[in-house]
Structure 1
Amino acid sequence: MDIAENAALVVVDVQKGFEELGFWGERNNPEADDNIAALIDVWQASGRPVVFVRHDSSGPRSPLRTGYQGNDFKEYVQERRGRGPGAELLVTKTVNSAFLGTPDLGAWLTAQGITQIVVAGIQTNMCAETTARMGGNLGYDVLFAYDATYTFGLEGPFGWRRSAEELAQASAVSLHGGGFARVVTTKEIVGAAGG
């Protein structure tokens, strides 16, 4: 796997509100936060650009709502912001895709000459997957850092319920099998990026 010298790491919604398990339920992949931190460290050490994405929920009960402490980035992310020599961007959004936030992520990537992105963050099957899908649709070479994401169990139609791990795996299969992104591990990305 080749990682471009200017590949952008897109860190999606790594916010304190996702620690409120009473709201979200059971999560998967307890190693995700360590893997996200490792990716940020490698990107910053190599001078590659990092995009930090924050979900500003308009839901009055959402742990990610604007003005609530859960809207803040997790400490390990906040501590790393502004520390790398490479370009850095903050995107805020109210929907699933980072490409539909402010400022315009696609326009920024184009202006920087970036054609490859690495997606990590929360939730695997929600904003991380939607960002990866849209990136693939827009023609970017998308790497999805599967073990640098996590999600929560969910109930859907017909009484169907899927665990966090089942949903994460389904996202990986859809993204990779559907050609939206290459689903890879943090170790593979770090090795290819020179970490």
Structure 2
Amino acid sequence: MRTDPGTGRALLVVDAQRSFLQRESWRAASDPGVAGPIGRLVDHFRDRGDRLVWVLHTEPGTGTVFDPERGFVEPMPGLSPAGGEPVLTKTAHSAFTGTDLQRLLTGWGVGEVTVCGVRTEQCCETTTRMGSELGFAMVFAVDATATEPIEAPGSPPGRPLREVLDDPGTLLPRDVVTRTVYALSGRFATVRTVEAIVAGTG
């Protein structure tokens, strides 16, 4: 069901969690220090008195780094929800699926939602597309997202990172980010930099 847009603004921090820091592939991420620009947005939205929602990805019972039992499903170092800022958990790519996110935003009168977090083309992009379909004006904070190399379909599982990066079929992070910008711009979101968001331009 589509949302009747409000006038408020919210920042959605998607999956910026310690789980990713445990993976070898994170060493080749587009921005391993993405917590820095995310933190800048968090401060900016708090200073304006806007809403913040934190979302963490979970895969209960899998034994992976996304299994809450492993202890990594918590915000990256340097990021911390403040009192009153909801922390939602999800098991799907979209932060709107299986959570109270739409109800929260609608109840607050939020019409514009800025998305940041991990991974650029996966949970961040999927959430942005879904938010647009639900009637929110979506802003994609591109340099406050990060992603990892994507192996070609059918690649052997479990290869060392060096082999993945040397494979000409691997999609490198910079290309993943570019693809997401092309896919979202003018269709599902306004793509902006952290600097433009903080400065109120662009």
Q: Distance in 1 between matches of 2:61 and 2:97?
A: 18
From 107, 116, 122, the equivalent of 1:120 is 116
- Trace 1:1-195 onto structure 2 (pairs within 5 A): 6-22=8-24, 24=26, 26-58=28-60, 60-78=62-80, 81-82=81-82, 88-102=85-99, 104-157=100-153, 160-177=169-186, 179-192=187-200
Q: Distance in 1 between matches of 2:41 and 2:98?
A: 22
Unaligned segments of structure 2, at least 5 residues: 1-5, 156-168
CA contact (8 A) 1:24 1:152 kept: yes
How far is the alpha carbon of 1:99 from its aligned partner?
A: 0.4
Q: Distance in 2 between matches of 1:144 and 1:31?
A: 18
CA contact (8 A) 2:8 2:50 kept: yes
SS at match of 1:131: helix
Counterpart amino acid of 2:90?
K
The structure whose residues are more often helix, as a share, is 1
Change (3 A) 1:64 1:158: closer
How far is the alpha carbon of 1:61 from its aligned partner?
A: 4.0
* CA RMSD between the two structures: 2.0
Q: Distance in 2 between matches of 1:168 and 1:61?
A: 29
Q: Distance in 1 between matches of 2:94 and 2:188?
A: 14
Q: Distance in 2 between matches of 1:148 and 1:91?
A: 19
Change (3 A) 1:156 1:61: farther
How far is the alpha carbon of 1:164 from its aligned partner?
A: 1.2
Number of paired residues?
183
So what's the TM-score if we normalise by structure 2? 0.83
Counterpart amino acid of 1:189?
I
So what's the TM-score if we normalise by structure 1? 0.86
CA contact (8 A) 1:15 1:71 kept: yes
Residue deviations 1:153-173, cap 9 Å, x none? 011326642011111111111
- Residue 163 of structure 2 aligns with which residue? none
Q: Distance in 1 between matches of 2:8 and 2:86?
A: 14
Q: Distance in 2 between matches of 1:44 and 1:38?
A: 10
How far is the alpha carbon of 1:25 from its aligned partner?
A: 5.7
Q: Distance in 1 between matches of 2:33 and 2:184?
A: 21
CA contact (8 A) 1:25 1:153 kept: no
Unaligned segments of structure 1, at least 5 residues: none
SS at match of 1:34: helix
